[in-house]
Amino acid sequence: MGSTVLGIDLGGTKLLIGQVNESGEILRSKQFPSGFLNQEQALELILQSLEDYMTTVGFVEPYPEVMGLGIVGLVDPNSGQWIMIDPDRKHPIAIARVLEERFEMAVVIDNDVKAATQAELRFGLGQNSSDFIYLNLGTGIAAGFVAGGKLIRGYQNDSGEIGHLSVNYKSNTPCVCGRFGCAEALASGGGMDRRIRLLGQRYPESPLLKQAELGFVGAKQIFDLADEGDPLAVLIAHDAVDAASELIINLVRVTNPELVLLGGGLAGSEWMRRELPKRLHIRVIKAVHKGVQLSSLDPASVGLIGAAAVGFTKLENRS
């Protein structure tokens, strides 16, 4: 009958909980609003949401034996500690132990992008390659690297933070990390939104300024206005694609992958799908045997499936 895992995907705007089978099929799921300032708030949100899920949704047979959790930031999968969300929000918390004690189920945790990379390796196009890059272009930018069929973790499980590689040394766009010209500052959803405010004085007639007054401006809104010819949107959109292409080329030069998989909401946008191939240097990309491909996994659920993939690895290592 096979096994199932309870996956938990904690993102900045939503928390998704669901039961997933060995084929990567989501049997049941429920989405909860997210939003948290620190790790203690996030843990309380997870605890409350799990209680709600078990009461209102429940499980189908075969019941899950393991809980897999994918979370933003730096984690230690071996100890089950969530070390920090980012350098400004660091308060190590033994999140796996707390969940195990509350719900009497084995718990394993991993970083969200590393979890998504494992989803690609187990359920996605990564099944067909033992050497690939999974590049997540979303609100932020990060990557997972697979070499010889193994996920590369790094000394502190902190590999893949490639959003802070500089891709434009001439750029005067500051990044939250303190440097200039970082990929995340130019090509992520968060970076593109911040650039509206940074560049807005030069383009007072741009509709993006009014949208920015109402809150976060998504990449789709920027790309749509770029297609309509709005100068500010055109600048931000073209810079984003240029930065993404430079990032991919640099990563290919360093890691020599067989395949590059693009995931995240930005990667699937019509603008990126249309413009990115035009900018990738053919002499570099032709060395990527299976090319640069869009992930076959749904961006809305890849985090949940990735959390489940982490859980299935735990099951296999236990048996």
The number of beta carbons lying within 10 Å of the beta carbon of residue 258 is: 17
- Structural domain spans, the chain: 4-120+300-318, 128-294
CATH 3.40.50.2300 fits 4-120+300-318, yes or no: no
- The predicted pLDDT at position 53 comes to 98
Does residue 7 carry a pLDDT above 90?
yes
Residues in the chain, overall count: 319
- The predicted pLDDT at position 281 comes to 85
- The predicted pLDDT at position 317 comes to 83
Query: What is the average pLDDT value for the chain, to the nearest integer?
Result: 94
Q: What is the mean pLDDT of residues 38-65?
A: 96
What pTM does this model have?
0.94
- The beta strand positions in 94-232, using DSSP E, are 106-111, 132-137, 141-147, 150-151
- Fold held by 128-294: Nucleotidyltransferase; domain 5 (3.30.420)
Does residue 195 contact residue 187 with C-beta atoms inside 8 Å? no
Does residue 319 carry a pLDDT above 70?
no
